[in-house]
Every structure is written in structure tokens, then in C-alpha cells.
Amino acid sequence: MRVLAAMSGGVDSAVAAALAVEAGHEVVGVHMALSRNRDQFRTGSRGCCSIEDAGDARRAADVLGIPYYVWDLSERFEDTVVADFLSEYEAGRTPNPCVRCNEHIKFEALLDKATALGFDAVVTGHYAQVVTGPGGAPELHRSPNDAKDQSYVLAVMGPERLARAKFPLGGFASKDEVRAEAAQRGLSVSAKPDSYDICFVADGDTRGFLRSRLGSRPGTVVDVSGDVVGEHDGAYAFTVGQRKGLALGRPAPDGAPRYVVDVQVSTNTVVVGPAELLSVDRVAGEKAIWLCSPAEEAGPDGWIDGEVQVRAHGAPVPARVRATGEAVHPGEAVPPSGTPGLEVQLVGDPLRGVAPGQSVVVYRGTRVLGQATVTGAWRSR
């Protein structure tokens, strides 16, 4: 099989490429340059796609004896992932840029270009498993490495692209095992620190990045009664469930901590309230992508029994889920949004701090069934 190995310059992608070579595939390595103004070096564990990373990827490819190329996808990355990040925050929602990167870059731009060049599949260093189901179709499953499992951000792939993806690290139970594999093969990245946070916000200051792109937009912070309790420099910088960085002028009457419970973009207002207002047991989503047939997985009443997860490393919670022809929002049965959606009913404890824009991923055990973008969450009981 002729495969394209995405090589970030880190240990995971290097070992994934090595395992693809050992499996007998014809492997070509490619490093995606995603930043328009790449730094020479990384800052510890922050950032990615630096010139240093490209060099590390090239050295790994040399050790493996495979061809290596650098593809400039910075314009595509800026126009999709970064643009979506900014527009979502500007609209008062909380996006996950890793989900959008997997959707638009790694398994759209990269995979589609690989297919056009005659490659059969793309190999990446993601921690997830592709399993052949009873009917022969590929299924996406969690990695046994709970701390590194990335099935949540991969759920957006869709069945066709999943069939052309390979995740050689899916069976590894720990990162130490991967580093040991790298050291055994003489790969210099075996001890390289993991990257984390948002790759295009290398200093970790998300609020500062948003302000630099969206500008200053002063407004008020109010409590649930409408009383002004503080000021802000832009409602776009706040997310539901946030407690830190509110800079409130006076405490709550009962002294209890207050959290962001709503972001009203139309009036540039941030609403804060007590923790209990963050608990929800219903979630609605739009732009649903299924890795199964929801009709086949559902019971006679149309509901799927499983679990849902609303954060990349959050805990899955028991739920009933049903596919909807259009998105479902609080107070409306089926509004005219025109996009496939899903509706979630939690069957146990409520979730806390679910924000519009997040991904809600549906699981049954280790298997990913589907994904959607949260449009609303509320408490029905």
C-alpha cells in the first residue's frame, strides 16, 4: 500500500511513520507548514510547525529512509481553522480548533491531495483505533491510552475519510511505550516534549490573541438580575463556565463564586451567575456527522443508548441520543435550520458548563458513533 505519513516533527508522528514502513507500506513523509510566519524554534511545549519542527521531521525521515517533503498549507489553515476560531468566538461560541484542523486540514486538504497523487491512505500519529466492524466497514474506537486518546477530535472525519486513515499508535497503552519505540529506532525526537494548547497561540494567551485580531470592544458584565457587576474588553473573550479572569467589581451577595452563564453578543454583554445555573441535562447539536447508521443503532423509539463527551479529555456520561433532520434548540422542537442534527438526553448526573460551539461526541463503549456542534444546552428537570 502506498501511504503518506504526516510528520509534525514530534515523536508520535515519527513512530507512526516507522511502523508504517515496518508494515511493508511504501511510505512518503510530508510536513505541513501551517503558519504564515513560522518561528525558528519552538518555545518548550508550546506551539508547533516551527522551522525546528520541520528539521526534526526531515531527520526522522532520513533515519527511516523515506522521501520527505514540506507542503505549505498555511493559507488553507488561516482561511479555515483560524478564521473559524475567530468567527466562532466573535459569535459568542466556544470552538475547538483541533477538531477543525482534523476536519479541514489533516483529513480534507491533506487526505484529498494525497488521494489525487495516488496514495491509498494517510498515516498520522493520533491515538485512536480503526477497527473493522461486523459488516466490514471501518469503525473508530478509543485508544487504550486514556490520557492521550484523540477519538474525540477525530469524530468529525466521516466514514469515507476514516476508511483512508491509519493510526499505528492506536494500540499503545502509554506514551512511554512510544518514546521507547522511537529510542530503539534511533529517532532523535524520542525525548522531545509534547506540544499542547492551541498551536497558533504559542504563548497560551488566547484572550490576547483574540484581542489582537478582533480589537477592543468594551462592554458590561451583569448578574442574572441585570445589575452591572463589572466591565470587559470584549464579550468574545468569554465562554460559558468560565470563572477566572472575570475581574468583577463586587462579590455575589452570598459570597459564592460566580461563573459565566451566557455571552450575549448582540448587546456585548457577559452574564454571570451561580454554579448551579451551569448544570444541564439536555444538549442539542447541528451539522451532525455519523460514523454509523443512526437508524440501525437506535431502538424502536428512535433513541440510541450510549454515552456523550463534550470535551477532548472530559469524562463520558450516559445518555440517550437521537438523530434529527434539523438542529434542535431549547424551546423549539425542530427549527428551520436545514442541517442534520442530534438531540441528547442525559440519563444520570447533569453536565456542567456546556457552551455553544463545543463538539458533542456520541460513543457506545469505545466506539465513536457520531459528532455534532453544540447549539444549545439546558436543564429540563
Backbone phi, then psi, for 28, in 5-degree steps? -125, 130
Whether residue 140 contacts residue 129, with contact meaning beta carbons closer than 8 Å, is answered with yes
Please state the pTM of the whole predicted model. Answer: 0.90
Give dist(CA 93, CA 144) in Å, integer: 31
Mean pLDDT along residues 215-240: 94
Whether residue 274 contacts residue 259, with contact meaning beta carbons closer than 8 Å, is answered with yes
- What pLDDT, on a 0 to 100 scale, did the predictor assign at position 193? 87
- What pLDDT, on a 0 to 100 scale, did the predictor assign at position 328? 42
- 34-43, 166-175, 268-277: the lowest-pLDDT one: 34-43
- What pLDDT, on a 0 to 100 scale, did the predictor assign at position 336? 43
In tens, the pLDDT along 277-335 reads: 999 999 999 999 999 999 999 999 999 999 999 999 899 999 999 999 754 444 444 44
Residue 13 banded pLDDT, cuts 50, 70, 90: very high
Q: Could you give all domains of the chain from N- to C-terminal order, each with its CATH number?
A: 2-191 (3.40.50.620), 216-273 (2.30.30.280), 278-378 (2.40.30.10)
- What pLDDT, on a 0 to 100 scale, did the predictor assign at position 381? 62
- What pLDDT, on a 0 to 100 scale, did the predictor assign at position 242? 94
Partners of 264 in the beta sheet? 269
Neighbouring residues of 298: CB distance < 8 A, sequence distance ≥ 6: 304, 322, 323
Give dist(CA 176, CA 161) in Å, integer: 29
Whether residue 77 contacts residue 106, with contact meaning beta carbons closer than 8 Å, is answered with no
- What pLDDT, on a 0 to 100 scale, did the predictor assign at position 374? 96
Partners of 290 in the beta sheet? 370
Chain centroid to Cα 83, Å, comes to 15
Please state whether beta strands 2-6 and 26-33 pair in parallel, antiparallel, or not at all (unpaired). parallel
Angle at 343 between CA 339 and CA 344, to 5 degrees: 150
Residue 246: is its pLDDT beyond 80?
Answer: yes
Residue 147: is its pLDDT beyond 80?
Answer: yes
Give dist(CA 50, CA 28) in Å, integer: 20
279 three-state secondary structure: strand
pLDDT: is 361 or 328 the higher one? 361
Chain centroid to Cα 26, Å, comes to 30
Place of cell 480503526: 130
Q: Which DSSP string corresponds to 104-145? A: IIIIIIHHHHHHHTT-SEEE---S-EEEE-TTS-EEEE--S-
Residue 42: is its pLDDT beyond 50?
Answer: no
- What pLDDT, on a 0 to 100 scale, did the predictor assign at position 338? 55
Please state whether beta strands 121-123 and 165-166 pair in parallel, antiparallel, or not at all (unpaired). parallel
Give dist(CA 94, CA 226) in Å, integer: 23
- What pLDDT, on a 0 to 100 scale, did the predictor assign at position 333? 41
Q: What is the CB neighbour count within 10 angstroms for residue 131?
A: 12
Positions marked catalytic:
101, 199
In tens, the pLDDT along 250-284 reads: 788 888 999 999 999 999 999 999 999 999 999 99
Q: Name the grid cell of 159.
A: 466514514
Whether residue 19 contacts residue 168, with contact meaning beta carbons closer than 8 Å, is answered with yes
Residue 155 banded pLDDT, cuts 50, 70, 90: very high
| DSSP 8-state code for residue 131 | E
Please state whether beta strands 317-324 and 269-273 pair in parallel, antiparallel, or not at all (unpaired). unpaired
In tens, the pLDDT along 81-120 reads: 999 999 999 999 999 999 999 999 999 999 999 999 999 9
- What pLDDT, on a 0 to 100 scale, did the predictor assign at position 38? 55
Residue type, 263: V
Neighbouring residues of 142: CB distance < 8 A, sequence distance ≥ 6: 128, 129, 149, 151, 363, 366, 368
Residue type, 71: W
